[in-house]
Amino acid sequence: MGIYAEQVLPRLIDVLLGTREFDTMREEVCADLYGDVLEIGSGSGRNFRFLPASVAGLWTIEPSRVGNVLAADRFGASSIPVVPSGTDAQRLRFDDARFDSAVSTATLCTIPDAAAALAELRRVLKPDAWFHFAEHGHSPDRRVAWWQDRCTPLQRRVAGGCHINRDIIGLITDAGFAVEKLRNFYLKGPKAWGYMYVGRARNPAPYTGESRRADRVAEGARLLSE
């Protein structure tokens, strides 16, 4: 990794995602988290001050070394235990049904294989546990989506692999989650970068080998019916 990607970009993201508007979303998305919580893409730890008292501990996944250093300063003064737990959300080193809830903010746009990360997330969440998310992605407005598709290649190069055109809800539901709360809106600024998905999704069952086989059977049946 170059100096820009390793040193500059994490600090720039920390500033860009530290606005009052984003803090309002963080407060919303962290509300009602409880028990042992897994955060994928914990970044510089900006969600931490919004965690409710019902959180017993936070396990974090973050690939950026600088992000983890910035986060350590925010974690240091809290009574909530924080356990840095790796760098790759696509391969989680936890047992099945380990966590009570999970959270992700501005993460699914960047993970190289978001589908694999969500499958892993579903695996490590308990049945009926909640995944709270605030993500930007594909807009239903055709004109905005046109710009998203054309700007994503450049965005990926300058923003650490960020895709601004991912179908966030499609990814979450394809992984087997049931989205039960969702709010869509545009952030202030260029619409192509600011179409937001803020909500919660429930894990209806452990993501076991049996459920993976059932998913493949269901997908095959769907394709045959088309």
* Beta strand residue intervals within 145-189, DSSP E: 178-186
Q: Which two tokens stand for residue 37?
A: 């919580």
Which distant-in-sequence residues (6+ apart) come within 8 Å of 72 by Cβ? 45
Each residue's pLDDT tens digit, 26-84: 999 999 999 999 999 999 999 999 999 999 999 999 999 999 999 998 998 778 999 99
Which pTM was predicted? 0.88
CATH number of 3-225: 3.40.50.150
Residue with tokens 């452990």: 206
Q: Report residue 136: phi and psi, to 5°.
A: -105, 150
Q: What is the pLDDT of residue 190?
A: 96
Instruction: Give the SS3 label for residue 168.
Output: helix
Q: Which of 223, 213, 128, 131 is nearest to 171 (CA)?
A: 131
Question: So where are the chain's domains?
Answer: 3-225
Which distant-in-sequence residues (6+ apart) come within 8 Å of 90 by Cβ? 111, 112, 113, 116, 117, 120
What span, in angstroms and rounded, lies between the C-alpha atoms of 41 and 13? 12
Q: What is the pLDDT of residue 78?
A: 77
Q: Are 61 and 85 in contact (CB under 8 A)?
A: yes
Q: Degrees (nearest 5) of the Cα angle 8, 12, 17?
A: 155
Q: What is the pLDDT of residue 205?
A: 74
More confident residue, 218 or 32: 32
Maximum alpha-carbon separation in the chain? 56
Q: Are 52 and 32 in contact (CB under 8 A)?
A: yes
Q: Please report how the helices 9-16 and 65-75 are oriented relative to each other, as an axis angle in degrees rounded to 10.
A: 50
Q: What is the pLDDT of residue 111?
A: 97
